[in-house]
A = this chain, B = another copy of it.
Amino acid sequence: MAPSKILSLSMLLISIIMVYQANGQLPNQTTMVFYMQDIATGANATVSPVIGIRGKDWSYNTFGSIFVVDDPVMMSPSPTSPIVGRAQGILIASAHDGANVHVVMSIVFTAGSEFSGSTLEIQGISRQREKYRELSVVSGTGKFRFSRGYAALQTTFYDPQTTHSIIRISVTIQT
């Protein structure tokens, strides 16, 4: 093989490697599944109405009602499984027709989690009458710095007696 061909082939390899490195900077996508344990009423309530339109019921169906939430987050749906985080933030009944709740919350990973000390930041509308509810992951901290993506919520269990629901949250992020 002539030296010029060898040089040419080396160049081709170098070019390929360099372009692959550039491509290596493209987003990595990951999906993680968690379960939120939510209790709407009673002594163990995880979410509480704080204010609403005067003279009206403060409920998810009543425009203007504002709730604060702190739900345990787990890796499995079982309410007795270890807590790995907490979903903490604010919920706003923001639809005149009662259909939607505006959500701004953090998933705060706690000592039990491999993501301990990190958070996922969530904003979006929960279309509460639909099975599949998609919210945005607007960012994160710690291991989730510079992340963004979306979170799909589905209620997998609801006991009207205790107002206990288990909400599956599937988070897909790019970093």
Contacts and interface: CB of A to CB of B under 8 A. Distances in A.
Number of copies of chain A assembled together:
3
B7 A7 contact: no
Interface residues of A, number: 67
A52 interface: yes
25 contacts: A2-B4, A7-B9, A11-B12, A12-B15, A14-B15, A15-B18, A16-B18, A19-B21, A22-B22, A25-B26, A48-B63, A50-B66, A63-B68, A66-B66, A89-B92, A100-B108, A108-B125, A108-B127, A119-B125, A119-B136, A134-B141, A136-B139, A138-B139, A141-B150, A148-B148
Contact of A149 (B63, B102, B146): B146
